[in-house]
Amino acid sequence: MKRLVAIGIAGLVVLAIAAFGVLWFSPSVQDGAMKRTALGRLGSGDNSALLTDNSLHVFLCGTGSPMPDPTRANACTAVIAGGHIVVIDTGPGSWSRIVAGKLPAGKIGTILFTHLHSDHIGALGEFAVQSWIGGRVVPLEVYGPGKLEGSVPPLNSLGHAYGSSGTVDVVRGFAEAFDSDSGYRILHHGTDYLSPEGARIIGHEIARPAPNTLVPVFDKDGLQISAFLVDHHPVEPAFGYRVEYQGRVAIISGDTKRTESVELFSKGADLLVHEALNHSMSSIISEALTETDNLRLAKMVHDTLDYHASPVDAAEIARDAGVPMLVLTHIVPPLPNALARHIFMRGVAEARGDGETVLGYDGLLVTLPGNSDKIEISDLM
């Protein structure tokens, strides 16, 4: 019996080797396999149904920070509802998460910036080009803060004042940087396939709200998004966003220390997506950098402590505002294993009280069905 089993296994091994040999050395078999793979992937469709299912969806397309983390793209949150995809921040690496989530690229028509740090705007060009290639035929509208306020801008040796650009200037710079790329593509593929109008990127600056007030930014097909001020000094102005659709409300904090406005506008909300920097872990990293004589990076890491909220801060805000679900994002520092994640969340459960808390990750989708109190979590990647 054992001999028969051994013979059978040996036969299967021989067949597998033979099949591999045919695949490896036969171009026609290789091409057939590749075509079947392509058809299978293309036939799997996309997640367009999320746009029309009468729910408010919040997709985390980037939960990282400027600290390198291979598991997280930089800041990006997509709001999906009422036939629209509105992307809040376009951090480096985040476009790949949109692709992995199989969101219909051509439906991305509006970008909102919380502020103009590089980890929140770096992939704007990629979003503009790829959503255009994906079928967008109207200009990409980009909204964000105006020029730096409340600080004396530093000068370089040529007399240029850094901080003198607002969202309009930033968008104009991206448009100029990608102008040649757009021209090449239109000439190559033709205007029937790539609309010259779709290649445009238009910047708009949001009027600075008064403290603890909302300024409407987006209002189409029942999806309403308003901006409010947060505290990310010396980055001023910096915004959070309140998102409303079919009786459901989500708050996106943007980068901020613990601030009254986030709690105020989170009252009555179903979901709070709040940034989180663990101060004790970051302090330890700063101390380690100091001990290895990397004083420059040690200071920069230490400086981040005074304009970011901690996980416990976010938990207390969600508790005091009565928000059913808190999702942490913009995770600092990177969390490479279960122990690091456990340390990062230290004290959160005690501070949170009632309500659910989720440590966010790239690909997380939170669904708020319209006119309901249900909250659903899934993985879109």
In CATH terms, the fold of domain 47-114+211-379 is: Metallo-beta-lactamase; Chain A (3.60.15)
| Amino acid 29: pLDDT | 78
pLDDT in tens, 36-67: 877 777 766 789 999 999 999 999 999 999 99
Q: Give the per-residue pLDDT at 364.
A: 98
pTM for this predicted structure: 0.93
Instruction: Report the DSSP pairing between strands 201-205 and 271-277.
Output: unpaired
Q: Among all chains, which residue has been given the structure tokens 């300024």?
A: 215
DSSP character for 48?
G
Asked if residue 249 lies in contact with residue 242, where contact means CB atoms within 8 angstroms, the answer is yes
Q: Is the pLDDT of residue 24 over 90?
A: no
Helix, strand, coil percentages for the chain (3-state, nearest 5):
40, 25, 35
Measured distance CA(128)–CA(241) in Å, rounded? 22
Q: Name the token pair of 361.
A: 């990750």
Q: For residues 366 and 325, what is the distance between their CA atoms, to the nearest angstrom? A: 10
- Write out pLDDT tens, residues 68-78: 999 999 999 99
Task: Report how far residue 88's alpha carbon sits from residue 221's, in angstroms, rounded to the nearest whole number.
Answer: 18
Model pLDDT, residue 124: 98
pLDDT value at 11 more than 70: no
Mean pLDDT of 74-99: 98
Instruction: Using pLDDT thresholds of 50, 70 and 90, give the confidence band for residue 236.
Output: very high
Q: What's the angle, vertex CA 27, arms to CA 25 and CA 32, rounded to 5?
A: 120
Residue 277, CA distances (Å) to 68, 124, 191, 329 in order: 14, 24, 46, 9
Model confidence at 79, pLDDT cuts 50, 70, 90, reads very high
Give 140's strand partners.
201
- Mean pLDDT of all residues in 183-203: 97
Does residue 247 have a pLDDT over 90?
yes
Report the pLDDT value the prediction gives residue 151, as an integer from 0 to 100: 82
Q: What is the distance between the alpha carbons of residues 84 and 103, in angstroms, rounded to a whole number?
A: 11
75 close to 101: Cβ distance less than 8 angstroms: no
Q: For the chain, give the mean pLDDT.
A: 94
- How would residue 20 be classed by pLDDT, with cut points 50, 70 and 90? confident
Residues forming beta bridges with residue 242, ordered by sequence position: 226, 251
What tens digit of pLDDT does each residue of 194-211 get?
999 999 999 999 999 999
Rg (CA), the chain: 24
Integer Cα distance of 112 and 227 in angstroms: 10
Parse the chain into domains and list their residue ranges.
2-40, 47-114+211-379
Q: What secondary structure does DSSP assign to 92-140, as a single string?
A: TTHHHHHHHTT--GGGEEEEE-S---HHHHTTHHHHHHHHHHTT--SPE
- Which residues have a catalytic role annotated? 119
Helices (H) and strands (E) in the chain, counts: 13, 15
